[in-house]
Structure 1
Amino acid sequence: MARPPRRSAPSTSSGIPWDEVTPAPVVLVTGTEALLAERAVDRVLAQARAADPAVEVTRVSAAGYEGGRLRAVVSPSLFDEPRVVVVEELHAGTDAALADVVDYVAEPAEDVVLVLVHGGGVRGKKALDAIRAAGALVVACDPIKREADKSAFATAELRRAGRRADASGLRALLEACGADLRELAAACQQLAADTSGVITEQTVARYYGGRVEATGFKVADAAASGRAGEAVALLRHALATGSDPVPVVAALAAKLRLLAKVAAARGRGLDPARDLGLAPWQVDRARRELVGWTPESLAAAITAVARADAEVKGAGKDPVFAVERAVLRVAEAARG
């Protein structure tokens, strides 16, 4: 494997996405989203093996690291094979690990790709600064929190598998599995493997329609649209089949926060998708639902759900009654 060209750090402060990383003398994978960090490392290893199947891969844990270990694993072997060394858990590294890494990156070895994985936090900040200053290729693996970014992530996951979802299918997928990125990725992979054609809301419902998250969002959608009877029926079915009141109340709260954000953006002349990080389909739906709302009714609904949240978490005697009352009050508020 030919020695990769030295690359300077990206011009952005955060770094490049995981799916753009290529082997380099030093690659710094940093951020708290473990799934993306794992993928960045796997991508470097896959490209290194594609370039030379004989590449030697060594993994070193920085936690419990003893001085000199890094120099030992990057030293030329008897047959001088190209090497990839992955130093994991740099955020939990010993002082010796941090010192050896800083010393090494100042003069990287030939035919070695060193991948440093730092899971976030303040530990090792001086070492990170030194690694960046030495010209490491930095890969950003920050949490994906904005709804628009989750939507883009799921779309990209399906595209890599040669599939796509329509707007309703994507919305249903995010509502069912969007809270955890690893779970969302697994759902995309399962749907890509087990179904055919365009992924629709019905496709997602066959696999994930019984999930608590999906059920809670359906209750919240019906209540926010003023459909009290439907909302209560969905709620009672969910509770009868084992759903807990807590995530249902959480879904109601999430729905009202979304409505409040879109309403506030409209009043301030903001673009909710661009300025608030919402997915376009969320904005479109919220605008339709806001037709029956007033600022006063929205405030009243938020107050009712906040009360229910406290009651289902121990402040009340009957969690089922608390969540049903909240659903009814939200539906009443939605009708103005």
Structure 2
Amino acid sequence: MTPPAAPRGAAGRSSTASWRDVPTAPVVLVQGPEEFIALRALENLRRKLRAANPDLEVTKMDAATYAAGELTMAASPSLFGEAKFIEVTNLATMNDAFLSDALAYIADAQPDVNVALHHGGGTRGKKLLDAVKASGAPVVECLALKKDAEKAEFVSTEFKLAGRRIDPAAVRALVAAVGATLSELAAACSQLVSDTSGQVTTDVVDKYYGGRVEATAFRVADAALAGNGPVALSTLRHALATGVDPVPLVAALAMKVRTLAKVYSARGSSAQIARDAGMAPWQVDQARRDVGAWDQQSLVRAIQSLAEADAQVKGEGRDPVYAVERAVTVIATAVRR
């Protein structure tokens, strides 16, 4: 039997649902530009429905190439009464035939059928989106995770759901190494869960992803801000010798110094500062530990050296390697011993 559908809600009052736990309902709208989250939401809903109905009949449709009448036919009762799940993608490029049929279906959705609509963004189909939301259907927002704090929370949750522990520092190292895209970050989490045992530490992350440019920049920045000039310079020179571009190295240093500057004069709890600065509480805690070795003059000197290095590695200087080495030296020596 089809699992009981979630309440559709009062007209005009759609409910926002988590992509990790999408409720079953006659119609669910999966909306937003982050494709990975949208695919996960659809997968999670499909898995939930199949767990309740092993013989679930799944029908997939493309709203861009839709033929009139397909939705009505797919939602019609089957001969053997199997539960039905209809996934419709590409609503952002839907054709007129789908728009017309979908509007009619929303007005009289079948209570024993689950329909998931995926709209990746844009203005196409706004009339349909408004109708879905007005029906009270659950809406799953699939927004891009742009801040490191959001990506760190994603990593921590992935490990928690897998029943594994990961050090906060290892979370940060993983985000630094593979956090450019959410799909790549999720794949890295999955690999570490399946290929390792015990608690995941920075050494484990470094073993798997230490060769990445972002991870190298992360290690250079950490050593420089800790005042460990020899380690910072040797790591930097090794990175440059193996072909790492100076630009991301300077960017990583700048990000770390900006974090210190934000925390330097901030007042309040770690959670409060994190909210105000768009950071994770553990990032604030680490910055507070690091910032104790800095004063206002040394921070200004570090920021100025990074501004100069950034301009030089992007074309204003003749020797970008010297520019980044000088910035690392200035930062490492600015730390109070």
In structure 2, how many angstroms separate the alpha carbons of the residues matched to 1:300 and 1:95? 60
- The aligned residue for residue 231 of structure 2 is 230
Please tell me the residue identity of whatever aligns with 2:164. Answer: R
| Shift in Å, 1:13 | 8.1
Q: Does 1:7 align with 2:20?
A: no
Task: Give 3-state SS (helix, strand or coil) of 2:59's partner.
Answer: strand
Residue of structure 1 equivalent to 2:275 = 274
- Secondary structure at the counterpart of residue 115 of structure 2: strand
Label 1:122 to 1:333 Cα distance change in 2 as closer, same or farther (>3 A).
farther
Deviation at 1:290, TM superposition (A): 1.5
Structure 2 counterpart of 1:97:
98
Matched to 2:326, the amino acid is: R
- Distance 1:16-1:219 versus aligned 2 partners, 3 A rule: same
RMSD between aligned alpha carbons?
2.7
| Deviations, residues 144-166 of structure 1 (Å, cap 9, x unaligned) | 23333322221221122221112
Q: Partner of 1:287 in structure 2?
A: 288
Contact 1:3 1:112 in 2 (8 A): no
Other-structure match for 1:132:
133
C-alpha distance in 2 between matches for 1:14 and 1:142: 16
Shift of 1:220: 1.0
Aligned match of 2:167: 166
Measure how far apart 1:328 and its partner are.
Answer: 2.1
Query: Offset at 1:303?
Result: 3.3
**Contact preservation (8 Å) 1:56, 1:84:** yes
State the alpha-carbon separation in 1 of the partners of residues 61 and 26 from structure 2: 17
Q: Do 1:228 and 1:327's aligned partners in 2 also have CA atoms closer than 8 Å?
A: yes
Residue 21 of structure 1, CA deviation: 0.9
More deviation in 318-327 or 233-242? 318-327
CA contact (8 A) 1:17 1:141 kept: no
Are the equivalent residues in 1 in contact too, given 2:23–2:45 (CA < 8 A)?
yes
For 2:228 and 2:203, how far apart are their aligned partners in 1? 21
| Contact 2:13-2:135 within 8 A present in 1 as well | no
User: What is the correspondence of 1:231-250 to structure 2 with a 5 Å cutoff?
Assistant: 231-250=232-251
- Specify the alignment match of 1:305 in structure 2: 306
* TM-superposition CA deviations, 1:44-90 (whole Å, max 9, x none): 11122222222211111122334433223223344443211111021
Which residue in the other structure is 2:189 paired with?
188
Shift of 1:9: 5.6
Unaligned stretches of 5+ in structure 1? none
CA distance in 1, matches of 2:13, 2:300: 40
- The Cα shift of 1:14 comes to 7.8
Q: Return closer, same or farther for 1:274/1:102 CA change in 2, 3 Å cut-off.
A: same
**Matched positions, count:** 336
Deviations 1:242-284 (A, max 9, x none): 3221211111121122112222433999822233332232112
- The answer (yes or no) to whether the contact 2:3–2:49 under 8 Å persists in 1 is no
What's the secondary structure of 2:200's corresponding residue? coil
Answer whether contact 1:165 1:199 (CA < 8 A) is retained. Answer: yes
- Distance 1:278-1:116 versus aligned 2 partners, 3 A rule: same
The verdict on how the C-alpha distance between 1:262 and 1:14 changes in structure 2, with shifts beyond 3 A counting, is: farther
Q: Assess, with a 3 A threshold, how the Cα gap between structure 1 residues 269 and 158 changes in structure 2: closer, same or farther.
A: closer
How far off its partner does 1:235 sit?
Answer: 0.4
1:168 aligned partner, one-letter code:
A
Partner secondary structure for residue 38 of structure 2: helix
SS at match of 1:8: coil
Q: 1:173: Cα distance to partner?
A: 2.2
**Which shifted more, 79-88 or 59-68?**
59-68
Q: 2:155 & 2:199 partners in 1: Cα distance?
A: 14
Tell me which residue corresponds to 1:251: 252
> Helix, strand or coil: the match of 1:18?
coil
Contact 2:61 2:88 in 1 (8 A): yes
37-46 or 167-176, which deviates more: 167-176
The letter for the 1-side match of 2:250 is: V
SS in 2 for 1:185: helix
Partners in 2 of 1:280 and 1:3 — Cα distance? 39
* Residue 102 of structure 1: how far off its partner (Å): 2.4
Unaligned stretches of 5+ residues in structure 2: none
Alpha-carbon separation, structure 2, partners of 1:152 and 1:164: 13
1:83/1:198 CA distance change after superposition, 3 Å: same
User: Aligned to 2:20, what secondary structure does the other structure show?
Assistant: helix
Using the TM superposition, name which of 225-234 and 198-207 deviates more: 225-234
TM-score, length of structure 2 as denominator length = 0.89
**Change in 2 beyond 3 A, CA 1:12/1:182:** farther
Q: Distance in 2 between matches of 1:187 and 1:21?
A: 24
Q: Compute the displacement of 1:12 (Å).
A: 9.5
Q: In structure 1, what is the equivalent of residue 176 of structure 2?
A: 175
- Give the distance between the partners of 2:142 and 2:182, measured in 1 at CA: 12
Q: SS in structure 1 opposite 2:117?
A: strand
Tell me the equivalent position of 2:200. Answer: 199
Q: Partner residue of 1:263?
A: 264
Mapped contact 1:3–1:110 kept (Cα < 8 A): no
Q: Is the 8 A contact 2:313 2:320 kept in 1?
A: yes
Per-residue CA shift, 1:92-144, capped at 9, x if unaligned? 22243333322211111242110011112333333222111111111122122
